Copies of this chain bind each other. A is one copy, B any other.
Amino acid sequence: MEKKREEKKIIIEQDDREPEGLQQFATLVDKEIIFERKRMKRADYRFGKFYIERKTVEDFCASIVDGRINKQIEDGKKLIEEGNFYMVFIIGRVDKKKHNINEHCVLGKICSIVHKHEIPLIMVDNEFQFLYCMKNLYKK
């Protein structure tokens, strides 16, 4: 019985700069999700060969302005070249962003990530949807 319980656990590495509060949300999505916090060099979440970058819309806008997103795209492409899966999640709505960056710049960058760089990207409305999708990908 103990072994069966252990198998159900969904253990995901989480960068220790990600919000700690996400563990509580994750437990509400599925009480078997456990984040192992550690300093990650690339991406924000990892399980097996799966690497996930999580960005709120505001983070995403800021990372376009300061250029961080370009480095993250390059890191992601390297991970894919090395045989891993890499995905970007954006949480929130572009049309409700507070950042003063032009909306067209944000949409242009999304098109570039998906089309030019061929990096899978999913946009969700809230953290619960993000956590549910991560669980869904874990179970595949």
Contacts and interface: CB of A to CB of B under 8 A. Distances in A.
Interface of A: 85, 87, 93-96, 103-104, 107-108, 110-111, 114-116, 118, 120-126, 129, 132-133, 136-137, 140
A137 B121 CA distance: 16
Contacts of A114: 87, 120-122
**Chain A interface SS verdict (over half):** helix
Which one of A96, A118, A121, A136 has the highest number of Cβ atoms from chain B below 10 Å of its Cβ?
A136
A129 B107 CA distance: 7
11 contacts: A93-B125, A94-B125, A95-B125, A103-B129, A108-B136, A110-B122, A110-B133, A111-B137, A115-B120, A115-B140, A118-B120
